[in-house]
Structure 1
Amino acid sequence: MQVIVLGGGLMGTATAFFLARRGVRVRLIERGLIGAGATVASFGNIRRSGRALEQMPLANRALALWTQSEALLGRDVEFRATGHLRLIFDEASRADMLRFADAARPLDLALEELAPAEIARRFPGLGPTAIAASFSPQDGSANPRLVGPAFADAAARAGAEIVAEAGVPDIARTETGFELSTRQGVFGADVLVNCAGAWGAEVAGRFGEAVPLGMHGPQMGVTEPLPHRILPVVGVWSQQSGAYLRQVERGNIVFGGGVPRLPVDESGFGRFDPSGLSRQLGKLVRMCPALRDVAIIRHWSGCEGYVDDGLPVMGGSATTPGLFHAFGFCGHGFQLGPGVGDAMAELVATGACETPIEAMSIARFAA
C-alpha cells in the first residue's frame, strides 16, 4: 500500500510519522513549508478542559503521546505538563465548569475546583478578582514552531518521503487510487489522507463531500521577556470569547483570544487587527494585573478551518474508497495532533480505530 498524506501541518506530519512507524509506504505533500500554516499560528495549548466530550478519548490518546514526544521524535518540542488554570469571573461560567467537570469525570478528566483563597495561595498574582477557577494538572503546552518539523523529520527517518513547496495540487481519481500533479512532480497512491487544514473542505468537495467550513485567523501576540513567574497555561471560562496566556521558559508571555476571530483575505491568512487590541489586553490584565505595563513585541495571525458544528472532520470518506479525512479542527486541534496522527495511521493500516471517532465522521453532512 502506498499512501499520500496531503498537508504538512501537525495533523499531516503526525499521520505520516505513525504510518511510517507501522511500515506503510507514505509520502507527505505540503503546498508550502512544513508546519507553516495553522500549526505555527497556534497558541500551543495542550488542554482537555472545556473540550467537546466527543473528543475526550482522542484527547486522552494524544496526551499520552505528548508525554512521550521527546523519546518519539528524538528532540525536545518543549512539551511541559505545567497544568491548565481556567479562571472564572461570573456564576454562569462557574455553573458551566461544574457541569463540564461532572460530564468529563467518567472520561478520565478530573478537574480541581479552586476557591479564591486557593487561587491566591497556589497562583499568586493570577485572577485576583476571580470567583473560582478550575485546574487540570496534567495539561500544559508545547512549542508550535518546533512540532511540525519535528514530526516531519522523524517521519523521514522512519522511511516517509517529505515533499514540501509543492503548490496546490491537481488531484485526480484513477483506476487504482489517486494521482496528484504538483510543481514537484506527479505522485500516485492507493490511499489519500486529506490533512489540508482550512483547505480540507475543498479537497473533500472534489469527491462529492460538502462540509460547512469557514476560514478564520486567531489574533495572537507576545510580550518582551520577563522574570519567569507564571507556570501554568492560563485561560478563562467564558460563554463569550475567552482570552488565554502562557509564559515560555525564555520569559515571554504568549497570548491570544478575547476578541472575535479574524477574516481571512485573498492571501489565505488572517491579518492582525489593531482595533481589537485594547479589549484583548484588558482581558489579559484581568487575568494577570502585572502585565499592565509590559511591552508587546510582536503580533501574528494565520488561517484555521472552523466547521459549523464545532467538531472536526475525521475518518474515512463516505463517497470514495481509499480517501480519508482529518481537517477542520476549529482552532483547538493542537492538543489532539499526535492522537489524530496515531488514530489515522491505525485506521488506514488496519481498517479500524480503537479510539471512538464516529462523531467526527464526514458522513454527518451527507443529508
Structure 2
Amino acid sequence: MDVIVLGGGLMGTASAYFLARRGARVTLIERNQVGTGATVASFGNIRRTGRHLTQLPLAHRSLSLWGEAEKMLGQDVEFRATGHIRLIFDEDGLADMRAYAEAARPWGLELEELGSREISARFPGLGPDAIAASFSPQDGSGNPRLIAPAFAEAARKLGAEIIEGALVEKLERTNSGFLVATSKGSFAAECLLNAAGAWGAGIAAQFGEEVPLDARGPQMGVTEPLPHRILPVVGIWTRDKEHGAYLRQVERGNIVFGGAAERVSVDLDPGHAIADPLRLPVQLRAVARLLPAIAEVAVIRTWSGCEGYMRDMLPVMGQSATTPGLFHAFGFSGHGFQLGPGVGDAMAELITTDRCETPLDDFSVDRFSHHSS
C-alpha cells in the first residue's frame, strides 16, 4: 500500500511512522520543515483532564505510546509523567471539576481531589489562594521541538520518504488513487492522509468537504532558568478566560507558560503568527495567580504559531465521506499535542485495515453537513 501524508507536524509524522511500521510505502510532504507549524507552538502538555469525554479513548491510547516513545523512536523526547494539577479558586471551578471527574470516571480517567492544605504540602509555592485542585498523576509533558523530528527520523529509517519545503500545487483523484504535484515533483499513491493542520480544511474542500476552521495563534512565553522545583504541569479550572493560564517548568529550569490571552488570527499564507507584547501583562497576572514567584522573574522569549480551530473544538479524524482512499486528521484546536502518537497509530490502523479499535465517530468530517441540513 502506498500512502501520501500531507503535513509534517506531530500528526503527520506520527502517522508516517506507524504506517511505515505496518508495512506501507509512505511519502510525507511538508510545505516548510517538519514540526514547524502548530507542533512547535505547542505548550507540550500531555493531559487528559478536561478533554471532551469522547476524546478520552484516543487520549488513553496516546498516553501509553508517550510512555514508549523513547524506546520506540530511539531518542529522548522529554516525556515526563510528572502529573497534571489544575488549581481551583472558586466554587464554580470546584463544581465544574467534580462534575467532570464524575463524568470521566466511566471513561477510565480517575482524578484525585486535593484540598488547600494538601496543595501547599505537596506542591509548595503553587496557588496559595487555591481552595482545591484536581490531580492526574500519570499525565505530564513532552518537548514539542523534539517529537515531530523524532517521528520523522524513525519513519525515514523504516523506509518513508520525508520531503520538506514542498508546496502542493495540485491535488488530483485518479483511477488508481491520488496524484500530488508539488514544487519538488509529483507523487502518486492509492491513499492520501490530510494531516495539514490549519491548512487541512482547504484540502478537504478540494474534495467537496467543507468544514468550519479558523487559523489562530496562541501566545506563549518562557522565563529565565530557575532552580527546578515545579514537577507537575499546572493549570486551572475557571470559567473566566482571563484567568485561564497554564505553566510548566522544564528540567533546565525555565518556566513555559501560556493561556489567558486571546489567540490572534493567522493568515495561512505565510502561516506565521506573532505574539503580541501588549497581551503579556494580562497573561502574567493570570500566571502569577498559579505561581506568585513568577512576578519576580524575567521573561526571555515569547512566540506563537499556527493552529487550526474547529467550531466544536473537536478534530476531524477518519475516512472522507466523499472520496475513497482519502483520510483526514486535522483541526485539533490547540489541544492535539497529547493526542499525537495515538492519532498516528489510530490513522495507520484505519488506513491499513479499514477499521480502528478507538472510536472516531464523533470526529467524522461530515458532522457539520448533518447539522446544516
Tell whether the structures are fold-level matches, with TM greater than 0.5. Answer: yes
Aligned to 1:258: 260
1:285 matched to 2:288? The reply is: yes
1:244 matched to 2:250? The reply is: no
Distance 2:132 2:169 in 1: 50
Distance 2:261 2:89 in 1: 17
Aligned to 1:339: 342
Alignment check: 8 A CA contact 2:168 2:180 kept: no
SS at structure 1 position matched to 2:168: coil
SS at structure 2 position matched to 1:97: helix
Aligned to 1:318: 321
Distance 1:150 1:240 in 2: 37
Distance 1:150 1:192 in 2: 22
Quick one: which amino acid aligns to residue 257 of structure 1?
G
SS at structure 1 position matched to 2:247: strand
Aligned to 2:126: 126
Alignment check: 8 A CA contact 1:31 1:169 kept: no
Distance 1:169 1:179 in 2: 11
Identical positions, percent = 66
SS at structure 1 position matched to 2:167: coil
Q: Residues 24-60 of structure 1, C-alpha deviation per residue, up to 9 Å, x if partnerless?
A: 1111111110001000010000000000101000000
Alignment check: 8 A CA contact 1:85 1:232 kept: yes
Alignment check: 8 A CA contact 2:4 2:189 kept: yes
Give, in angstroms, the shift of residue 366 of structure 1: 2.3
Q: Residues 100-138 of structure 1, C-alpha deviation per residue, up to 9 Å, x if partnerless?
A: 100111111100101100000000000000111000000
Distance 2:34 2:170 in 1: 19
Distance 2:145 2:169 in 1: 25
Name stretches of at least 5 consecutive residues in structure 1 with no aligned partner. Answer: none
Distance 1:245 1:18 in 2: 31
Distance 2:7 2:44 in 1: 19
Alignment check: 8 A CA contact 2:31 2:166 kept: yes
Distance 2:182 2:14 in 1: 22
Distance 1:229 1:132 in 2: 20
Distance 1:240 1:11 in 2: 30
Q: Residues 210-236 of structure 1, C-alpha deviation per residue, up to 9 Å, x if partnerless?
A: 000101000000000000010100011
Quick one: which amino acid aligns to residue 26 of structure 1?
V
Aligned to 2:214: 214
Distance 1:191 1:75 in 2: 30
Distance 1:132 1:186 in 2: 57
Distance 1:282 1:117 in 2: 23
Distance 2:30 2:169 in 1: 9
Quick one: which amino acid aligns to residue 43 of structure 2?
F
Distance 2:46 2:33 in 1: 23
Give, in angstroms, the shift of residue 81 of structure 1: 0.2
Give, in angstroms, the shift of residue 269 of structure 1: 2.1
Give, in angstroms, the shift of residue 240 of structure 1: 3.0
Aligned to 1:193: 193
Aligned to 1:116: 116
SS at structure 1 position matched to 2:296: coil
Match of 1:362 among 352, 360, 365: 365
Alignment check: 8 A CA contact 2:44 2:141 kept: yes
Q: Residues 217-258 of structure 1, C-alpha deviation per residue, up to 9 Å, x if partnerless?
A: 000000000000101000111123310000000000000001
Distance 1:220 1:168 in 2: 29
Runs of 4+ aligned structure 1 residues displaced above 3 Å come to none
1:267 matched to 2:270? The reply is: yes
Q: Residues 140-173 of structure 1, C-alpha deviation per residue, up to 9 Å, x if partnerless?
A: 0000000000000000111111111102342111
Aligned to 1:234: 234
Quick one: which amino acid aligns to residue 234 of structure 2?
V
Give, in angstroms, the shift of residue 273 of structure 1: 1.0
Aligned to 1:352: 355
1:142 matched to 2:142? The reply is: yes
Give, in angstroms, the shift of residue 259 of structure 1: 1.1
Give, in angstroms, the shift of residue 175 of structure 1: 1.3
TM-score by length of 1: 0.99
TM-score by length of 2: 0.97
Distance 1:143 1:341 in 2: 17
Q: Residues 157-201 of structure 1, C-alpha deviation per residue, up to 9 Å, x if partnerless?
A: 111111111023421111111111111110001000000000000
Alignment check: 8 A CA contact 1:82 1:141 kept: yes
Out of 254-263 and 267-276, give the one that drifted further: 267-276
1:102 matched to 2:102? The reply is: yes
1:7 matched to 2:7? The reply is: yes
Aligned to 2:32: 32
Distance 2:121 2:306 in 1: 39
Q: What is the RMSD computed on CA atoms of the aligned residues?
A: 0.8
Distance 2:169 2:345 in 1: 25
Out of 166-175 and 71-80, give the one that drifted further: 166-175
SS at structure 2 position matched to 1:19: helix
Alignment check: 8 A CA contact 2:87 2:127 kept: yes
Alignment check: 8 A CA contact 1:87 1:287 kept: yes
Quick one: which amino acid aligns to residue 316 of structure 1?
Q
Aligned to 2:62: 62
Quick one: which amino acid aligns to residue 342 of structure 1?
D
Aligned to 2:78: 78
Distance 2:85 2:183 in 1: 46
Name stretches of at least 5 consecutive residues in structure 2 with no aligned partner. Answer: none
SS at structure 2 position matched to 1:298: strand
Residue-pair matches, total: 367
Give, in angstroms, the shift of residue 293 of structure 1: 1.0
